Amino acid sequence: MNFSLNEVQLMLADSIEKFVANDYDFEQRQKYSDSETGYSKQVWQTFAELGWTAVPFSEDDGGFDGGPVDMMVVMERVGRGLVVEPYLANIVLAGGVLKRAASPAQKEKWLQPMMAGELQCALAFFEAQARYDINNVETTARQDGDAWILNGNKGYVLNGGNAELIIVPARTSGDPANEAGIALFAVASDADGISIRDYATIDGQRAAEISLQDVSALELIGDADDGYAVLKAAVDDATLAICAEAVGIMTVLTEKTIEYAKSRVQFGVPISSFQALQHRMVDMYTACEQSRSLMMWAAMTCADDPAAINALKYQIGKAGKQVGEEAVQIHGGMGVTWELDVAHYFKRLTAIRHMFGSADWHLDKLAS
């Protein structure tokens, strides 16, 4: 299996790395994260102008026809820069649904403006009782003439407070745990009966709780009873994406920890000379490289073997905990201070470990 990136992918990686190095330092990131929207609209527009928002979409839809490997390239660099712009929410989650199920007219209306940076979107799929089982949907949709009326509650909606278009999975038939009977609906964020509570998350992102009370959907996306396959594919894409982001974060934490150990002097010598710490940093590096190798394998094989996603998320959960905790401990008390970027990388890595299924949950799925 060839793990080498092609020329286009190398150019994509290089362009994002240069942007992060030159225009997205930690201080700027903190400023964007603390803003009212939780990200920079100007930076998001730059993403669109550079074509990064079009990477995973087909040429027919106005994209660059990228696949899982291209998305891996983007998200690993997003992780290295600790980027807060809503790439995951817009491009991977909401975009993943639209590219698979939307009609040509719907793509023209929503997908293309989203790629152009003109429309903010979100996918509201999480429900409190479901835990990680995305087929467990209690939000209901009933048909009233030509309209669909939605009722229910959604939690942890990434970018939900900024989204103008919200894609809502709702049950049209069957029991709450059935995979059949789930449909996907486009809902306007300012529709009558919708309530959105926006909040900042521990990892510097933004999410929202959304309540739907007799909300009239804009349109049905795809088939009325067969939305689960589309939803699962989008969430699988997102799982791979955050795993790649986690690899980027682990790489930075390992590099920063090694550099700090070389400069931190104790008992008259750098602490990097202590054999016990050397062993711990080698273990960090090993966990990081094992995760990168599995990420590359999963990106290349997930289309044919969805279980590769489960294996990768398990590895990220296990390795992320190890690398994050070691980075904080070797940095000492300053490792958890607000002013040091290591603490914020650690927070984001911890959040990723629990998104779209914990390590134990994915291990159970892999075993079954």
| Same-domain check for residues 211 and 145 | yes
pLDDT value at position 264?
86
Q: Residue 291 maps to which CATH number?
A: 1.20.140.10
Is the pLDDT at 368 greater than 90? The verdict is no
Distant-in-sequence, close-in-space partners of 363: CB < 8 Å, separation ≥ 6: 310, 314
Domain assignment present for residue 1? The answer is no
If DSSP codes are grouped into helix, strand and coil, which group holds residue 252? Answer: helix
Q: How far is the C-alpha of 189 from the C-alpha of 205, rounded, in Å?
A: 19
pLDDT of residue 273: 81
Would 23 be classed as within a structural domain? Answer: yes
Q: Is residue 251 part of a domain?
A: yes
Q: Where are the alpha helices (DSSP H) in 332-358?
A: 341-354
164 and 53 in a common domain: no
**What does the pLDDT look like over 127-186, one tens digit per residue?**
999 989 999 999 999 999 889 999 999 999 999 999 999 999 999 998 888 899 999 999
Listed residues 199, 226, 253: the one ending a domain: 226
Q: What is the CATH number of the domain that holds 212?
A: 2.40.110.10
How far from 314 is each of 240, 284, 289, 309, 343, CA to CA, in Å?
A: 11, 17, 15, 9, 23
Residue 102 · residue 222 · CB < 8 Å: yes
pLDDT per residue over 236-281, tens digit each? Answer: 999 999 999 999 999 999 999 999 988 888 888 888 888 898 999 9
Q: Find the mean pLDDT for residues 43-70.
A: 94
What number is the average pLDDT over the span 340-362?
A: 95
Asked, for residue 2, whether it belongs to a domain, the answer is no
Average pLDDT over residues 311-326: 96
**Count of C-beta atoms within a 10 Å radius of residue 330:** 22
Q: Structural domain tally of the chain? A: 3
pLDDT band at 2 (very low <50, low <70, confident <90, very high): low
Q: Which helix (H) or strand (E) holds 124?
A: none
Residues 217-236 have pLDDT tens digits of: 999 999 888 899 999 999 99
73 occurs within a structural domain: yes
**What's the predicted TM-score (pTM) here?**
0.94
User: Does residue 205 have a pLDDT over 80?
Assistant: yes
**Domain edge (last residue) among 226, 241, 275:** 226
The last residue of a domain, from among 209, 226, 243? 226
**Phi-psi map region of 145: left, alpha, beta (phi>0 left; psi -120 to 50 alpha):** left
Comparing CA positions, the residue from 63, 60, 55 lying closest to residue 13 is 55
For CA atoms 161, 53, 12, 58, give the dihedral sign.
positive
Owning domain of residue 186: 122-226
What pLDDT was estimated at residue 37?
94
CB atoms within 10 A of CB 5: 16
pLDDT at position 334: 83
Tell whether the model's pLDDT for residue 3 goes beyond 80: no
